[in-house]
Amino acid sequence: SQTIHQWPATLVQPVGSPLSLECTVEGTSNPNLYWYRQAAGRGLQLLFYSVGIGQISSEVPQNLSASRPQDRQFILSSKKLLLSDSGFYLCASPRAGDTEAFFGQGTRLTVV
């Protein structure tokens, strides 16, 4: 069955430090992959989506970037974190043969 693994689960980073969050998908090939951010009181905001290796689309211009070095790997990065980057980051993908999205456990990032 399909599963999404995200790590780390929690992260506390100082302002100005770099960031790398990793998401891997098992049980499917060539999945569409999404990064969402859930900020307090602001719901789920789509940050990036990818339809294949090396193909990244950005929805919101910001301090973050994404990469897809392998078919089932999706990485969210930043060179210098801002306080406003704090939030809950979720990796998601459509369930195979369906349109519903399923999610990883998320990473709670606190920038201090």
Partner 1 sequence: AQSVSQHNHHVILSEAASLELGCNYSYGGTVNLFWYVQYPGQHLQLLLKYFSGDPLVKGIKGFEAEFIKSKFSFNLRKPSVQWSDTAEYFCAVLSGGSYIPTFGRGTSLIVHP
Q: Considering the complex, what minimum distance in angstroms separates the CB of residue 16 from partner 1? A: 30
CA dist., res. 25 & res. 86, Å (int): 24
Neighbours of 104 (CB within 10 A): 23
- State the Rg of the chain over Cα: 13
**99 contributes a contact to partner 1 by CB under 8 A:** yes
- Residue 71 interacts with partner 1 (CB under 8 A)? no
CB distance 43 to 35 below 8 Å: no
Choices 12-20, 21-29, 34-42, 69-77 (CB under 8 A): range interacting with partner 1: 34-42
Residue numbers of the site for partner 1 (CB under 8 A)? 32, 34, 36, 38, 41-46, 49, 90, 92, 94, 99-106
